[in-house]
Amino acid sequence: MKEKGDKELRSHIEEMAKMFEKMNFTPMQGRILSFLSFSGKSDKSFEEIVNFFQTSKSTVSNSLSYLISQKVVDYKTLTGKRKRYFFLTKNLPYLFTQQQLETIGHFKELSYKTLTFNNPDQREMNLLIHEWIRFANLFEKHIREALQNYEKDKASNILTSSEYTQS
């Protein structure tokens, strides 16, 4: 039975890691993020991570270093001990959102540039590109509003644990 549970956990970690890859993380970085979120406790030692994935220490070390630099993972040490325990931070949604805003900005920039190259007689295509830009502006506006609202809620401690669980 334990073997089945382990297989299911590993499968779920791989599934979630693929989603993180779409957020521009490497496969190992995605696996580590997934592992830390599904591991049953809030922190894991370096050795636990290496042992779970059966991969090289340098691969795990490089991945953790990057995740720490992006502030999506942090670590703590216990008093009098050298061992570091890694855990997820609250910054992942911010990083993801910032990437989305950058992508939208780049998309709009390239769309405007496309319009400068297009012949004005290409009315249908130019209208389509203007519609893309309008949608991107609207999407960007709502993302920024959502971030502001989240910050207000967080500051006033309105968010409760029930809001973190899926219905």
* CATH number of the domain within which 54 lies: 1.10.10.10
Q: Which residue, of 48, 63, 88, is where some domain finishes?
A: 88
Q: Residue 47: give the domain boundaries.
A: 2-88
Judge if 21 and 72 occupy the same domain. Answer: yes
pLDDT of residue 105 exceeding 70? yes
Q: pLDDT digits over 107-150, tens only? A: 999 999 999 999 989 999 999 999 999 999 999 999 999 888 88
Evaluate if residue 167 carries a pLDDT over 70: no
Is it the case that residue 46 has pLDDT exceeding 90?
yes
Mean predicted confidence (pLDDT) in 55-79: 95
Q: What is the pTM of this model?
A: 0.73
Q: Pick the last residue of a domain from 88, 107, 130.
A: 88
Q: Are residues 32 and 78 in the same domain?
A: yes
Does residue 130 share a domain with residue 104? Answer: yes
Phi, psi at residue 74, to the nearest 5°?
-135, 180
Identify residue 99 by its one-letter amino acid code. Q
Dig out the tokens for 119 from the structure. Answer: 């012949």
Give the 3-state secondary structure of residue 79.
coil
Of 77, 107, 74, the residue nearest 92 (C-alpha): 74
Q: By the 8 A CB rule, do 115 and 129 touch?
A: yes
Q: Among 73-77, 95-99, 135-139, which is the least confidently predicted range?
A: 95-99
The predicted structure's pLDDT at residue 21 = 94
Same domain, 49 and 106: no
Average pLDDT, rounded, for the chain: 88
Instruction: Name the nearest CA neighbour of 37 among 64, 8, 17.
Output: 17
Does residue 77 sit in the same domain as residue 132?
Answer: no
| C-alpha pair distances (Å), 67 with each of 43, 59, 63, 133 | 14, 12, 6, 33
